[in-house]
Structures are given as structure tokens and as C-alpha cells.
Chains A and B, each alone.
Chain A
């Protein structure tokens, strides 16, 4: 009985039976059709679910023969693993769409009928093994879609629907002609028989037939540029119908292509090129969209292009084993995420992108929105991420680097317009806020839940799922549950969670990773504890902070490049959302994200190329990489340098650091920036043991110092304290990059020393500034002044940090600078050493300005009554000061483990092999080096001072402020915003290209028909050329 009920053919019984009953029952009683509709739809979903369950649990493929005879004398339908997953996911989305559309469906029994037929048609397309039957189901689904489009009523929707009909009818006409001719050539309509005898499909008729069928399927998937009709429908149809067209109908067509792919063995390159062009150009044109649904349409079309590309490439490379992860993952990801976004767009009901600021301050809606966007962008932890990784790895292994570029550039463009949309939500506008009722939010919310589940399944498929790698997400989800608690309690919970889980995650880490883990985890906790100074609830802030800190911990534990990349992306995402949290940060969060993603994509390409050379994704294999691996190393270095804010690609940094919440700035600068350093560290650390040349190290050394110099010069120009510290951070990271680039034992010990020193110093400075801003309410240097009497403890902390950072004796910074200069001299990089001295001088100048202008100088009258910074801010600062003193007076405590971690990995490449650090200290005589440094710095200061005295006579003003003001014109002549102009130019160029591309879509139905025809002819001509 149960077996009879769950027979796959019941899907059609439910579909057809329901459709016939609905109009009949409407005559009897008005509510009956709705009941039948729900029953039939749930029945279809349940049957497909049971079939999938059966197949999953090892039952052989479910074959249903019709008419009591075996194929080819009858039509057979099949449910295997692929069909099961596709049909079930489509049916689940159909249920959600019915929920979403319920207000309209309930009143209109004809719409219910069409809806049911559409779903049944798509199920048929998925299951049938007969070519003509496929055509019939395609037509059933299409006609039902036409009908649903007609119900929307608005003239725009009708027009769009008509264009859609014109194009798809033309396409299916070709399918009909093609399948008739195929039958003529091969004598069967059974797809399996055709695949077996595919060698018989030859000659002009056979080739033409094949090309016609292929063109229909490609056209139905809306290839660029023959897809204007699809875009119009996405834009003007109601959101539920658009979701059906984008997810469900496309799924059926895509599955048909998947099913028939063995027939198109000779056309795989053609299919891949069509998909690649569509992916790239649709995402490009999407950049200029302001209408939400049309933008989703561009993304939808692009995703189908990516799917087609992935399908053809995987087949071509013979990577059948990766098919479920790549094609299945991308398919489910797009289906759920795009349907969810359309549902959300319908529920929010703001047709224009800029109207979405009305959602600001609605945590639940924003969470769902963010999850769907992250998923569609192919970012972790959702299935698209795992699929894209596997796809890129496979493609790289085959050496098709061009395809990697297409996939990554297209993805970057898509992320750009998707997150520009999200930017609106982070932009608080006071009026016009809306509340979406939970019932309307449910379909989108369920899509988000299903995406999370399928993300875990995909992670399992890719072999990366382990408890510790998902622990950060688990912790964040756990903290989300308590997001209603008061702010300080949440902060406490977050700290406890991070402490416990963090120690557990980094437990097995050894070597350099352990040192970084110790430093970043403890530093992160100390700085995160500063959040006690704010009592407001900060919705979402604490879960994200836990995610950020634990992801950093997880990154240090990673053993494979996949795990590394996953954690890297999690860090990027959590810091993006944290930055976007701040009120003023909304224009700066997007550049931060885009540069971070570009950096991540460089890493992805680098890892993929390395995996192709090494034959494994184990990070340790880098050490054994041959000379061929150098492009991979260059890409990885570029990726890490972008994230470290190296000169030229630094433009994301000042805005993000300056506009983030004040305590978050401390975290970003002190802790998060070190993640890029860790990456650079590990990669160069592995690179030195491989056979690749080290010429690029010298280049990196120059980049590092250039960054230092530029950072220092720009810091000098700032009038905003936080911007100044941001540039200072960039400048300091430049030193560390240079130290790493030395590629010697001493260089790396130095780098680590500098990392520790910078973490503490920047932590103190940003937290101190947070206190100042809290009390005075301004970030501008000149508006503050004379706070030393009000805030003595803050001043003491800043002074300590200043001394330590500028490299003045006796604090830790002195040791760091000394080590760096020694290492450079040892290496013979005298030019760089001279630059380092110059930069040190610049660093001292701006730090002195900060301390002087804010704390000394003249006190403004309105600051007379302000108090010292709250204890919550002071305690972390003083903990860090204690750390600085420890580092200063007991360097052995710190240096021994560092040296030990770095030592054993080296054999003969290092000068310092075998010596403990004490010997190094003893061997090197610091006095001459330091004496020269101090002398040069003094001389420089004297020159600058003289120049000032000389100029001062002509500009009769006084004070330290004037000293700095005097040098501003010189600096502004020296520092042109070249980088900003360059990146703005790139952005303008891309946008104008997007503007030209989208002009293809004239809106004229006849023109669209012409495009379709041209596209078919193009496929025909290239297909014939390939064949011959």
C-alpha cells in the first residue's frame, strides 16, 4: 500500500489528477480547489522525497515503465540519485513558492491549476528518458509558465510575458524539429538508446538535429546576449513567479541538458564557452542595475551560465567523481539562494535597490538577507563555496587558467553588485522603515536554513567537514540565540565562548602557528574585552566577533589549503559585517569587502595552481614544490599583500579602519591585520624550502618599505586621529612585510617580534583613542587638546605606546627596529635600511603629533569637565602595556620559543642556524648600528627643524601645530592620490563597459527573436566547424 502510494509515477497522478479536479471542484465548493492544490503539491514533494530517500539508502535506480512494455516501445521514467536530488529540491522550492504566492493563488483556481502543471512538467523533464516526452513536459511547463505570467496583470508583466513566449516558443520549435530529425536518423526516441548508439548520429541531418536540440536547451537557459526576454520577465513578473522561472523552470531545462550531455560530447567546448560568456557578461551588466528583480535576473542568468560552464568542463575533464559536488552544489545553491532572494524581494516589496535602506535595524530580515547573499556570492559556508573551490581546483589541474580567470572575475562582479545592494541595508535612514511580517519572511528564511544544511552536506562531500572548522559558526549561531540579552552580558558570554572554544581549537597547533595562536587569541580576547565600555545591545555584533576570533584560531590550525581558504573567507565575511555595523561605515565596507575578496580570489587561484603542481591540497606540500610552482607563490603573495594593505592596494584600509566602531578598529588593526602576515609568513616559510627562486623576495622587501614610507607620509597628513592610526597601521605592517621578505632566520624572528609589538601598540592606541572620542565626541586632532589633566592614564598608555612604536629605547620597539636594521645589513640591503631609517623618522613625527595635539597643547574650555576613559577601556590597555614591558625586559621568554619554532625547519640555508638568540644578541654589537640610526634621525630632525625656522620667519605663527601645518603643502605636493585615481578609473571603466553591454537589451520582442535566431545560427556554424 505504502509502496503503491510512493511510486514515482504518482507525481504525475497528483499533478494531472489535481489539475483536472481543481476546476471541477470549484463548481461544487469554493474552498475545495485550494485543498486539492495543497494536497497535490505536498503529495508531489512527499513522493519525490520518499524516492530520494530510497535511492539514498542503496536501492537501485527506480525505473518506471509505462504502458506495460519495456523501452523503447514505451516511455520510461527514472529516479536515480541525480533525479532524486533535483526533483526533491525543486519540489521543496515549489512548496515555498506556493506559500509565498498564497494570497494570490487562493483567490484564483486557474492559477493553482497552472502552478501544479508547471511543477509536474518540471518533474517530468527531470525523470523522463524519452526525448519526445521531454519535449512534451517542456511544453507543459512552458505553457503553465505563460499562463502564470499572464495572471500578473500589469501591462509590463504582460509585455514581458509575451516576449518570453516568443523566444521560448521559437526555441522549443527547434527542439521539436531536432528531435524529429534525430528519430529519423537513429530510429529511436529513447535517450539511453540514443546515447548507446550516438556514433550513428552523423551526416548533415544527424548533426543538424543534434545542434538544434542543443540550441534549444542553451536558449532556454538564457545565454548572453539572446536573453533579454528572460530579464524582462524577472523584472516585471511577481516575485513568486520570477522565483519559479529562475529556479524551477531553469532547473528542468538544465537537467535536460545534463541528461542529454553524452550526446553533445563534441560540443562541450561550445557549451562551456557559451556558459562562460553568459556568466561574465551578465554579471558585468548587473553592475548597472537599480531594479532589484532585474538585478536578480542578471544574477540568475549568470548563475545558469556558471552551471553550464561547470557541467561542460567537468564532463570534458572526465571529473565524474567531482560532478555531485560541483554541479550538484552549484545547482542547489542557486536554486535555494535565488528563490530565497526573490521571495525576500517580494516580501520587502521595494522595487528599487536604494529603497532597501528601509530594512535597516531589522536583525532577522537582515540575517536572512545576508545568508542568501553570501550563498549566491559563492562564499562559505554554503554549497556554492565548496563547489567553486572544487571547480577551480579541477580546472587548474587541467591547466585551463583562462577559465579560472573567467570564473573568478565573474564572481567578483557578482559580489560587487550583490553587496552594493546589501550596503543599502546598512545605511540607516530614519523614515520609511518597514516591518516584514514573519509569515511573509518564512519562505526566504526556510531557504536560508536549507542552504545552511546543504552547505554542511557539501562540506562533507568535499572532505573538509570537521568539528573544529565549523565550531566558529556553531559558536556564532549559539550566541545569536542570546542576542536579546543586554550588551555587556552578551560581551561576557562571547569572551567565555571564544576562550573555551579558542583554546580547544588551537590545542593541537604547533610551530609558528602555535605562537601566532597564542598571540592572536590572547590579544584578541584582551582587545575584545574592551567592548564592555558600551552598554548598548549592538545586535549581531557579539556573534560576529566570536565568529571572527574563532575563525582566526581555526585558520591557524588548518592543514589543507581548502581549510585555510574557508577560514580566510570566514574572517573576511565576519570583519565585513562587523565594519558594516558602524553607522558611518557604509561607504567604506564595500571597498573593504571587494579588496578582501579580490585578495581571497588571488589565494584561491594560487592554491589551485599549487595543488595542480603539488598534486595535493596539503599545505605542507608547498615545502616540496618544484620550480613550476612560482606563479602560485606570486599569486599567494599578491593575495596576502592586498589584505595587508600594501602600497597601491591600500585604499580600502583607511576608510574601513577609521569608520568601524572604535573598539573594532583596535581589533582590526591589532589582530585581524596579522592574519595576512601569518599567511605571508607561512607561505614564504614554505617557499624557502622549495626549489623556487627567491628573487621575488627582494621585490617584496621594496613593496614593504614603500608601504611603510607612504603610510607614514599619509599618516602625517591626516587631521582625523583614527585615519592617522589607520595609515600608521599600514606603515607598520610594511615593516613586517619587509622583515618577512628578508627570508632569513633573523628576518623572521624580527617579523614575529614586530607583529607582537604592533599588536600591543595599536591595540593600546586605538583603545586610547576610543576613550578620547567617547569623552570629547570628536575624532579631529585639532579639536582635541590638553587632555592630559583629564585623562592621565590614557596619556600614560599613549606615551608608552608611542615610545614603543617609534623604536625609541628602552621599550620593545627599539629591539624590533634594531633587529630589523641588523637583518637588513646582514643581507646587504643597504638602500632599504636607509629607507627604514627615514620611515622611522616619519613615524616618530606623526606619533609625537598625536600625543602632543591631543594631550598636551592648549585645552579647549569645553573639555574642562571631562573624565578619564572608562575602566573597561583602560584595563585592556594596561594589560597590553604589561605585555610590552614583558617583551622589553624578558625578551628571552618570547624569543626562545620563536627561535625554536623557526629553527628546526631549516637546514643549511640560514646563517643563524644552530645559534640561540642570545648568541645572536651577543654576536651582534648593537651600538654602531643604533648609533648610526639615531645620528641619522637626529640629523634629519635638525634639517627639518632648520627648514621650519627658516620658513617660520615668513609665516609668523607659533607652536607645534604650526610646525606640522608648515609641512602639509610639501607633503601634499609629494603625495598625489595616484592609487585612488587608478582604482576609480578601473571602476569607472567597468561601469561604462556594463552600461554598453546592457544596451543590447532594447526591449523589443522582435529584436529578441532575432537574437535567438542569430544565436542558433552561431551555434550551428561553430558546431559544424567543430565537428568537421
Chain B
């Protein structure tokens, strides 16, 4: 058997984060920058889920098939998944608010180039 799924996920997640960061720093268009942020978010979500993975673990449901003692070793850790759900919601609303700012900024200047919005400085 090759790499465990969690490691593949971790690598993918961190790659997504790096791609997102590069997107933020390379692109001048506000919408692309926002996409960069979404990519970072997604990457982090993937990393979080991966950290909770237990190789060969089952669903974390304590029932007749699995008692409490087994749960700690044989089941996937449910907490990261729970956290991810919250994080997705937060990421969603942050993206939404960034997009709404982008719309307002475009209305004000008729451009989405971030270099056009430097009136307050020093």
C-alpha cells in the first residue's frame, strides 16, 4: 500500500495554501486576489481534515460495533471535521464580504486594479 490518504491530503492542502498565497501576491486584480484567499481557505480545510484522519479508522460513532475504549484508537477524530464545518461557514462569509467590497470598489473607480486604491498612505 502506498502513501496514506492523510499525507496526500496534507501535501495537497499545503500546496493549495501556497498557490493561494502566490495568487494574492502576484495578481493585481482584486477578484483574483479574492480567489487566492479562497484557495488558502480551502487548503487549510483540507489540512484540518487530514490531521484528524486515523489510518484505517472508521466513522466515529459509538454503538454496538464500537465501544468507547476502541473509539480513541479505531475511529477518525471527529473534532477537526466539526471545526472544518465552522471554518467553511466563516470562510464563506468572509469571501462574500470581500466580494461585496470588490463590487463597491469597482463602482467607485471603475477598475479592479489594486494599485488604483492607494489614496491613504504615509
Most chain B Cβ neighbours within 10 Å, of A146, A156, A1006: A1006
> What is A's interface to B at a CB cutoff of 8 Å?
132, 136, 139, 143, 146-147, 150, 155-156, 158-163, 165-166, 169-170, 173, 176-177, 180-181, 183-184, 189, 228, 231-232, 235-236, 288, 294, 998-999, 1001-1006, 1009-1010, 1013
Most chain B Cβ neighbours within 10 Å, of A147, A158, A173, A999: A173
- The residues in B between 68 and 115 inclusive whose CB is less than 8 angstroms from any CB of A are 79-80, 83, 86-87, 90, 93-94, 97-98, 100-102, 104-105, 108-109, 114-115
Q: Mark B42-85 against chain A: 1 for CB-CB distance below 8 A, else 0.
A: 00100110011000000000000000000000000001100100
Q: Bound state CA distance, A169 and B120, in angstroms?
A: 20
A-B contact pairs, 30 of them (CB 8 A): A139-B90, A139-B94, A143-B90, A146-B94, A146-B97, A150-B100, A155-B119, A156-B119, A158-B105, A158-B108, A159-B105, A159-B119, A162-B101, A162-B102, A165-B101, A166-B24, A169-B37, A173-B37, A173-B40, A180-B80, A181-B51, A184-B52, A228-B121, A232-B121, A236-B120, A1002-B121, A1003-B117, A1003-B119, A1006-B115, A1009-B25
- For residue B21, CB closer than 8 A to chain A, the reply is yes
- Residues in chain B near residue A180, CB distance under 8 A: 44, 47-48, 51, 80, 83
A1005 engages B83 (CB within 8 Å): no
Can you name the residue of chain A whose Cβ is closest to the Cβ of B108?
A: A155
Q: Bound state CA distance, A231 and B115, in angstroms?
A: 18
User: Contacts A139-B90, A159-B105, A169-B94 hold; do A1005 and B114 have CB atoms under 8 A apart?
Assistant: yes
Q: Bound state CA distance, A165 and B33, in angstroms?
A: 12
- Residues in chain B near residue A136, CB distance under 8 A: 86, 90
B122 engages A1001 (CB within 8 Å): yes
Q: Smallest CB–CB gap between B26 and chain A, Å? A: 9
User: Contacts A146-B97, A147-B97, A173-B44 hold; do A1006 and B114 have CB atoms under 8 A apart?
Assistant: yes
- Residues in chain A near residue B118, CB distance under 8 A: 159, 1002-1004
Q: Bound state CA distance, A327 and B49, in angstroms?
A: 39
Interface size range of chain B in the complex:
35 or more
Can you name the residue of chain A whose Cβ is closest to the Cβ of B28?
A: A1006
- Residues in chain A near residue B37, CB distance under 8 A: 166, 169-170, 173
Q: Smallest CB–CB gap between B39 and chain A, Å? A: 11
- Residues in chain A near residue B24, CB distance under 8 A: 166, 170, 1006, 1009
The listed residue (A143, A163, A1005) touching B94 by CB distance below 8 A is: A143
Across the A-B interface, the 7 shortest Cβ-Cβ residue pairs = A1003-B121, A1003-B118, A159-B117, A155-B108, A184-B51, A232-B120, A180-B48
Q: Bound state CA distance, A181 and B87, in angstroms?
A: 14
B48 engages A160 (CB within 8 Å): no
- Residues in chain A near residue B108, CB distance under 8 A: 155, 158
- Residues in chain B near residue A170, CB distance under 8 A: 24, 37, 40
Can you name the residue of chain B whose Cβ is closest to the Cβ of A147?
A: B97
A165 engages B97 (CB within 8 Å): yes
- Residues in chain B near residue A163, CB distance under 8 A: 117
The listed residue (B25, B90, B105, B121) touching A1006 by CB distance below 8 A is: B25
Q: Bound state CA distance, A1013 and B24, in angstroms?
A: 11
A999 engages B104 (CB within 8 Å): no
- Residues in chain A near residue B105, CB distance under 8 A: 155, 158-159, 162
Q: Bound state CA distance, A89 and B49, in angstroms?
A: 39
Count of A-B residue pairs with CB < 8 Å: 118
The listed residue (A150, A176, A189) touching B87 by CB distance below 8 A is: A176
- Residues in chain B near residue A1004, CB distance under 8 A: 114-115, 118
Q: Bound state CA distance, A147 and B48, in angstroms?
A: 28
The listed residue (A139, A150, A183) touching B51 by CB distance below 8 A is: A183
Q: Smallest CB–CB gap between A295 and chain B, Å? A: 12
B93 engages A143 (CB within 8 Å): yes
B21 engages A1013 (CB within 8 Å): yes
Can you name the residue of chain A whose Cβ is closest to the Cβ of B100?
A: A150
B119 engages A173 (CB within 8 Å): no
- Residues in chain A near residue B121, CB distance under 8 A: 228, 232, 1001-1003
- Residues in chain B near residue A1006, CB distance under 8 A: 24-25, 28, 33, 114-115
The listed residue (A150, A176, A1010) touching B104 by CB distance below 8 A is: A150
B44 engages A165 (CB within 8 Å): no
- Residues in chain A near residue B114, CB distance under 8 A: 1004-1006
- Residues in chain A near residue B17, CB distance under 8 A: 177
Q: Smallest CB–CB gap between B121 and chain A, Å? A: 3
- Residues in chain A near residue B87, CB distance under 8 A: 176
- Residues in chain A near residue B44, CB distance under 8 A: 173, 176-177, 180
B97 engages A160 (CB within 8 Å): no
User: Contacts A136-B90, A176-B44, A180-B48 hold; do A160 and B120 have CB atoms under 8 A apart?
Assistant: yes
Can you name the residue of chain B whose Cβ is closest to the Cβ of A165?
A: B98
- Residues in chain A near residue B90, CB distance under 8 A: 136, 139, 143
Q: Bound state CA distance, A211 and B108, in angstroms?
A: 39
With A146-B101, A162-B101, A184-B52 already in contact, 14 other A-B pairs whose C-beta atoms are closer than 8 Å:
A147-B97, A150-B100, A155-B119, A158-B101, A162-B30, A163-B117, A166-B37, A173-B44, A176-B48, A177-B47, A183-B80, A236-B120, A1003-B117, A1005-B33
B41 engages A173 (CB within 8 Å): yes
User: Contacts A147-B97, A161-B101, A173-B40 hold; do A1010 and B25 have CB atoms under 8 A apart?
Assistant: yes
Can you name the residue of chain A whose Cβ is closest to the Cβ of B40?
A: A173
Can you name the residue of chain B whose Cβ is closest to the Cβ of A168?
A: B94
Can you name the residue of chain A whose Cβ is closest to the Cβ of B90?
A: A139
- Residues in chain B near residue A161, CB distance under 8 A: 101
A143 engages B48 (CB within 8 Å): no
- Residues in chain B near residue A132, CB distance under 8 A: 83, 86
Q: Bound state CA distance, A159 and B87, in angstroms?
A: 26
Can you name the residue of chain B whose Cβ is closest to the Cβ of A181?
A: B51
Q: Bound state CA distance, A159 and B108, in angstroms?
A: 10
B117 engages A1013 (CB within 8 Å): no
B79 engages A166 (CB within 8 Å): no
Can you name the residue of chain A whose Cβ is closest to the Cβ of B119?
A: A156
Q: Bound state CA distance, A132 and B118, in angstroms?
A: 35
A1005 engages B117 (CB within 8 Å): yes
Q: Smallest CB–CB gap between A996 and chain B, Å? A: 11
B100 engages A1003 (CB within 8 Å): no
Q: Bound state CA distance, A998 and B122, in angstroms?
A: 5
- Residues in chain A near residue B120, CB distance under 8 A: 156, 159-160, 231-232, 235-236, 294, 1003
- Residues in chain A near residue B122, CB distance under 8 A: 288, 998-999, 1001, 1003
Q: Smallest CB–CB gap between A194 and chain B, Å? A: 14
Can you name the residue of chain A whose Cβ is closest to the Cβ of B102?
A: A162
Q: Bound state CA distance, A1006 and B25, in angstroms?
A: 6
Q: Bound state CA distance, A852 and B64, in angstroms?
A: 114
- Residues in chain B near residue A165, CB distance under 8 A: 94, 97-98, 101
- Residues in chain B near residue A999, CB distance under 8 A: 122
Can you name the residue of chain B whose Cβ is closest to the Cβ of A153?
A: B104
Q: Smallest CB–CB gap between A1003 and chain B, Å? A: 3
Most chain A Cβ neighbours within 10 Å, of B52, B80, B93, B117: B117
Q: Mark B8-50 against chain A: 1 for CB-CB distance below 8 A, else 0.
A: 0000000001000100110010100100010011001001100
- Residues in chain A near residue B25, CB distance under 8 A: 1006, 1009-1010, 1013
Can you name the residue of chain A whose Cβ is closest to the Cβ of B80?
A: A180
Q: Bound state CA distance, A74 and B114, in angstroms?
A: 43
Can you name the residue of chain A whose Cβ is closest to the Cβ of B20?
A: A173
Q: Smallest CB–CB gap between B32 and chain A, Å? A: 11
Q: Bound state CA distance, A166 and B101, in angstroms?
A: 11
- Residues in chain A near residue B30, CB distance under 8 A: 162
Q: Bound state CA distance, A235 and B120, in angstroms?
A: 8
Most chain A Cβ neighbours within 10 Å, of B21, B83, B105: B83
Q: Bound state CA distance, A1005 and B25, in angstroms?
A: 10
- Residues in chain B near residue A1013, CB distance under 8 A: 21, 25
Q: Bound state CA distance, A231 and B105, in angstroms?
A: 19
Can you name the residue of chain A whose Cβ is closest to the Cβ of B116?
A: A159
Q: Bound state CA distance, A1022 and B17, in angstroms?
A: 22
Can you name the residue of chain B whose Cβ is closest to the Cβ of A164?
A: B101
Q: Bound state CA distance, A181 and B51, in angstroms?
A: 7
Q: Bound state CA distance, A1003 and B100, in angstroms?
A: 21
Q: Smallest CB–CB gap between B111 and chain A, Å? A: 12
- Residues in chain A near residue B79, CB distance under 8 A: 183, 189
